[in-house]
Amino acid sequence: MFTTLKALTVVATSFSICSVLGAATTSDGGVIITLPPRSTDVGIKKVPDAAHPFIAPGPNDQRGPCPALNTLANHGYLPRDGIASFEQILAATREGFNMDRDLAGFLAGFSMMARGNAFLNKLSIGSISPQIPVVPGAIDGPAPPGGIAKHDRFEGDVSMTRQDFNIGDDVHFQISLFDEFLSAIAEFGDDDPVHGPKSIVNMKVMQEFKFQRFQEAQGQDNAVSFHASRIASSYNEAAFILTFFANGTTGTLSKQALTSIFQNQTFAPNWFRRSSPGTFDFIVDTAMEVLNAHPIQPGANVNGVYELDPPSTACNAAYSDFVLNNLPHTLNNVTGTFKTNVNTLLNIVATPFGCPKLLPAGPVGQ
């Protein structure tokens, strides 16, 4: 659609037409990224609706390490090819899961800069794609953006259903790990009249399963990396399961609904999204409750021994690790639409942390 409009109109005209559609092309060929207003469509809702049937991905469709984005693409809430803009990710995560704008903005904004093309406003929810070229000036090295599946910066160790990069497949669903999750439900889960005894994922299940995964990774992966940003993502993702995958009508998450999303990458039949937006603060509180049962300090294995990072003096250790270490410093020196978008996204990423804005200082090409 965007290409067609561009071909049919002069640049000045396409700017106004595309603005209406949320994709503004500028004279340097970039696409302006904008933070949409908070939606008012944030109540409980049955998902999917009739317009979003499950269709299994084709061989050229990108899928990756995020069960939620994969599911949204399988239902056409995200483009089915797995290539999405910042605005499309915010709209889809709200429509499908009622994720609050600023939480989705942080996730999508960081990912766009770390693993996407922030000049063209394109991010792959899987791996490298012929649709996403190298960024202008090859400021992050000669390779095209890796997509969110590329290891480091965002995809990381101690995932729940993907292996550590050093151990095995870090991108796709691993049934052996999921079986450990199911075992934790069988041991610590709540009973439910409909779904059966010990069938409901609760806080205790998540506390014990997450700690077990850390102990396994720490024991198996000689170089396990669990610095501040990765601890934050990893425990936030545990909180996402409890808060976003739960059935909105009951607030409970059955092992059947969990399996549907993780293994089949489709919503369970008769599933409802949560009844209020899941905000950043709410997620962080839930994540802290998971972590506090078995506290873990940021660190990494060096020859198999877990070494703690020096104590952080930052306003927020995770925010500072994300921006200072995981975004290439060369983002500071871009121009034109690329610069406009990087500025927009850096502000969006800083917002939920409530910290003074930092500038990227990380290595290039990682």
- Residues in touch with ligand NAG (CB under 6 A): 247, 249-250, 254, 256-257, 259-260, 264, 268, 270-272, 329, 332-333, 359
Identity of the residue, 131 or 264, whose beta carbon is nearer to ligand NAG in the bound complex = 264
Q: Is 78 near ligand HEM (CB under 6 A)?
A: no
Q: Is 248 near ligand HEM (CB under 6 A)?
A: no
* Three-state SS sequence of the chain: CHHHHHHHCCHHHHHHHHHHHCCEECCCCCEECCCCCCCCCCCCEECCCCCCCCCCCCCCCCCCCCHHHHHHHHCCCCCCCCEECHHHHHHHHHHHHCECHHHHHHHHHHHHHHHCECCCCEEECCCCCCCCCCCHHHECECCCCCCCCCEECCECCCCCCCCCCCCCCCCCCCHHHHHHHHHHHHHHCEEECCCEEEEEECHHHHHHHHHHHHHHHHHHCCCCEECHHHHHHHHHHHHHHHHHCCCCCCCCEEHHHHHHHHHHCCCCCCCEECCCCECHHHHHHHHHHHHHCCCCCCEEEECCEEEECCCCCCCCHHHHHHHHHHCEHHHHHCCHHHHHHHHHHHHHHHHHHCCCCCCCCECCCC
Q: Is 117 near ligand HEM (CB under 6 A)?
A: no
Q: Is 69 near ligand HEM (CB under 6 A)?
A: yes
Identity of the residue, 120 or 327, whose beta carbon is nearer to ligand NAG in the bound complex = 327
What's the min distance (Å) between Cβ of 160 and ligand NAG?
17
Interacting partner of 68 out of ligand NAG, ligand HEM, none (Cβ under 5 to 8 A depending on kind) = ligand HEM
What's the min distance (Å) between Cβ of 266 and ligand NAG?
7
Q: Is 161 near ligand HEM (CB under 6 A)?
A: yes
Q: Is 237 near ligand HEM (CB under 6 A)?
A: yes
Residue in 154, 188, 226, 271 binding ligand HEM, rule: CB under 6 A: 154
Piece of the chain touching ligand HEM by CB under 6 A; list 2-10, 66-74, 251-259, 315-323: 66-74
Residue in 156, 298, 360, 362 binding ligand HEM, rule: CB under 6 A: 156
Interacting partner of 260 out of ligand NAG, ligand HEM, none (Cβ under 5 to 8 A depending on kind) = ligand NAG
What's the min distance (Å) between Cβ of 290 and ligand HEM?
12
Count of positions on this chain that bind ligand HEM (CB under 6 A):
26
Identity of the residue, 14 or 350, whose beta carbon is nearer to ligand HEM in the bound complex = 350
Residue in 18, 24, 66, 257 binding ligand HEM, rule: CB under 6 A: 66
CA distance 241 to 261: 10
CB 8 within 8 A of CB 17: no
Burial label for 12, CB within 10 Å (0-12, 13-18, 19+), is: exposed
Q: Is 155 near ligand HEM (CB under 6 A)?
A: yes
What's the min distance (Å) between Cβ of 6 and ligand NAG?
29
Q: Is 65 near ligand HEM (CB under 6 A)?
A: yes
150: left (phi over 0), alpha (psi -120 to 50) or beta: beta
Q: Read off φ and ψ for residue 202, nearest 5 degrees.
A: -120, -175
Piece of the chain touching ligand HEM by CB under 6 A; list 46-54, 159-167, 283-291, 335-343: 159-167
Q: Is 205 near ligand HEM (CB under 6 A)?
A: no
**To which residue do tokens 């802290």 refer?**
288
What's the min distance (Å) between Cβ of 89 and ligand HEM?
5
Q: Which residues bind ligand HEM (CB under 6 A)?
A: 65-69, 89, 93, 97, 99, 104, 107-108, 111, 148, 154-156, 159-162, 233, 237, 240-241, 244
